[in-house]
Amino acid sequence: MIPSDDAAITIRKSPYHFRKLRTAGVSLTHAVFAGLLALTFLRADVEKTSYVEAAPRKKPPTPVRPQKRIEPPVTSAKIEPPVSPSMKKAEPPPLTPAAQNPANQTASVFTPNAPTTNANIRNAGLLDRLVSAYPEFLQSHDGQSVAWRDGERMQFDDGRDKTSGERLELPDLEDSFFDAYPAGADGINPPPDFDPGRSIFEPFFTKMYGDCKTGDVENRMAEVVWLPENWGGKIKATTVNYVDERLNKISSELDDLPSEFMKYLKPPSDGYSCRPIAGTARIGMHSYAAAIDLNPAFGDNWQNARRSRRQYRYRNRIPLEIVDIFEKHGFIWGGRWSHFDTFHFEYRPELIAGFDPGPAAPRREPAQTVVRPAPPPETPQVQNQPQPTTAPAQTDSLPLPERQPRNIR
């Protein structure tokens, strides 16, 4: 059956109706998308405005107008105000004979131009401890720098506010005292980022102990018999600041502890090691032969501990009886750090409040060799000729120098 003309026209026009519907749908989709986009930007503007309104607004500083200087009138005669007896400055009392003795006076010398602030007072007290801890090398301080006995000066505080990481990587002498070193059982399980003495100012200790890369440290070392009654092995320690003698005393006192303590003490794992600290480019006191690590089987380190959120779970198995003996002789304990190293001890007497290293000794120099006079050349003897009766040269009676310690070349 052939469709009529009207039906054919209807069939041909029907696709146009669908095209209009499709166009209307696309337009509606675009309108919805534009509306959602506008709402998104409007919400962002509202949130930004709310944050700006919630933020504290700082009031701009009021400009200070320069005041006109008023010159005082010039008078021909200077009139002194009357001074009452109560306003007169009292004279200082005379010094006692004990105070007049130079041996009882402190080596601290303060600069008169330095302002008196709490920071300066604190630094002066810390410098007193630093000078008294190393009397063979340090002579005095002026409240801002420390003076060596050879005339060199080192700045104590660079004046920068640092994070805990910057105090390790970019330290100065003051950063070692940032956290006060505790004592007793109160120093167990320290708070986060509490590392007293973990910052090491390398120029200071390298000048004192030497550079291990050039052999200076090895030339000043001695062997220490560790626990002669219970073990008898040998470790190496520097002779600078009598570290070897102090370890000998520590070993003798540890030998007297009950037998259940010996498992923590032997065998020690490390004494001298010219290497950087594990995982860093910094060098520690092991590079100066001024540290010792006990039995690693009972030592705990923060890098090997289980991590809980941002902190490391503290763990320690070293008895405090052992820690007390080390601290009594000027060694600090790595178990008092939040980044703990419980079997590590190093000689840092300046950090222990009230520690007395002993009387100051003069700077020790190497022994001088004695040059003996050479014997006269032998002359041929002629028979039947009397020999001169001269006394033989008394070369063995020449005075010999006293034996000097071996710690400083």
pLDDT at 53: 53
Domain edges within the chain: 183-351
DSSP state of 341: B
Under the banding of pLDDT at 50, 70 and 90, the label for residue 398 is very low
Query: How many Cβ atoms are within 10 Å of 54's Cβ, its own excluded?
Result: 7
Among 176, 131, 141, 126, residue whose Cα is nearest residue 346: 176
Q: What one-letter code names the amino acid at 180?
A: A
Side-chain half-sphere exposure of 342, counting CA atoms within 13 A: 26
pLDDT at 307: 63
How far is 125 from 138, CA to CA, in rounded Å?
A: 15
Alpha helices by DSSP H, 61-182: 97-100, 118-133, 164-169
Give the predicted TM-score (pTM) of the model.
Answer: 0.62
**Which tokens in the block code for residue 398?**
């020449």
pLDDT at 285: 94
183-351 carries CATH number 3.30.1380: yes
**End-to-end CA distance of the chain, in Å?**
126
Tell me: the pLDDT tens digits for 169-213? 999 999 999 999 998 877 788 888 899 999 999 999 999 999 999
The helix or strand, by DSSP H or E, that contains position 353, with its residue range, turns out to be: none
Under the banding of pLDDT at 50, 70 and 90, the label for residue 370 is very low
Q: Taking a C-beta distance cutoff of 8 angstroms, is the pair 200, 285 a contact?
A: yes
Tell me: the pLDDT tens digits for 27-55? 888 888 888 888 877 776 655 555 445 44
